[in-house]
Amino acid sequence: MTFKCWSLISVILSINSCNLNKKILPRVEVNSEQKWVLESKGATNFISQISVDALKKELTYFASDDMEGRSTGEEGQRKAANYLKEAYQKMGIGTPKGLNYFQNIPEKFFNGRSKTDAVNVMGFIPGTEKPEEVLIISAHYDHIGINTKGEVFNGADDDGSGTIGILQIAKAFQKAFEEGKEPRRSILFLHVVGEEIGLYGSKYYTENPIFNLKNTIANLNIDMIGRVDDAHLDQTKYLYIIGSDKLSKELHFINEAINKQYSHLSFDYTFNDDNDPNRFYYRSDHYNFAKNNIPVIFYFNGIHKDYHNITDTVDKIDFPLLKKRCEHIFLTAWELANRKERIQLN
């Protein structure tokens, strides 16, 4: 998650996160007149593709010192981009419109915050009946690099957890594709760069979209889903939901229905409050999609004491919980990609 303009807030959160997170706002419930029915079947047949072992193996490498903190424009970020590209190639997942998995972002776009060009990384599974309609699942793969002491900020949770989570979700969709269960709509797995320095990768994509934004049905953004914050030490099977009802109540209802039927997580809407001082709705890559009137959900585990510290390491990740959260996002994405009609704006 981007640190821009929020250093003071993050310090306060790391000390007092328990107090800040206590309030759980009432969710938007489906009333008796709203009979929400999940239309798409078969997703649970592919959940087994998301495994603790695979998450641990991939994240252990992705959040290792070898990646040099994945700072935008640095060698570690380029290593990370190539790792993601090779992962999609190994899974047999293609890339949109002959891009060779990379969307190049020129150095000048970063306003002096990157020394070189950098890339967004994309995997793509085409839809069958409505291929022009696209669901985007996103996470940022960059982090904050190495400090002046030579210490590496590994960013295991921020946002190694979301990055590797997307790879596992993509693997489940690809398995379905190979077994003849192609999605009705296309799915873009979008790994954006430059988030930590100002949401630049998602900004570049939305200003230079590979697919028409009018045909982008939703953005599911994953940023930090591998840990537990102080507010949930007694209830670890939770997930913060941000933005789900702001542009499309249908999106909110679907996310809730998936949880009720399958995932059984405790959803916390504290940070969805328009008056929340943390303003997380504006602080990750989904916001650049929301600005373009695209419905979004930001999946988040909250701030912890290791946020933007060298101690955000893979040994702190709760892998069974990460798996559970990835499964929920996969099931939600499956429903969105396969419903008869695309979700509607409010």
Tally of CB atoms within 10 A around 341: 9
Round to whole Å and give the CA distance between 185 and 47. 19
Instruction: Please check the confidence at residue 98 and state whether its pLDDT lies above 60.
Output: yes
CA pseudo-torsion sign 328, 329, 334, 337: positive
pLDDT number for residue 39: 87
For residue 3, what pLDDT band results from cuts at 50, 70 and 90?
low
Q: What is the rounded average pLDDT of the residues 26-37? A: 46
The token pair at 139 is 């996470």
pLDDT mean across residues, the chain: 92
Other residues' Cβ atoms within 10 Å of the Cβ of residue 2: 23
Domain ranges of the chain: 7-24+36-338
Mention the CATH class of domain 7-24+36-338: alpha beta
Of 17-26, 94-103, 168-177, 247-256, the one with minimum mean pLDDT is 17-26
SS3 212: coil
Average pLDDT over residues 90-107: 95
The residues, any chain, with a CB within 8 Å of residue 263's CB and separated by 6 or more, are 324, 327, 328, 331
pLDDT confidence bin for 36, thresholds 50/70/90 = low
Q: What is the pLDDT of residues 151-190, one digit of tens each?
A: 999 999 999 999 999 999 999 999 999 999 999 999 999 9
- Cβ neighbours of residue 144 under 8 Å, at least 6 residues apart? 3, 69, 71, 153, 155, 196, 308
**Residues present in the chain in total:** 346
Mean pLDDT, range 191-198, rounded to an integer: 98
d(CA 126, CA 221): 20
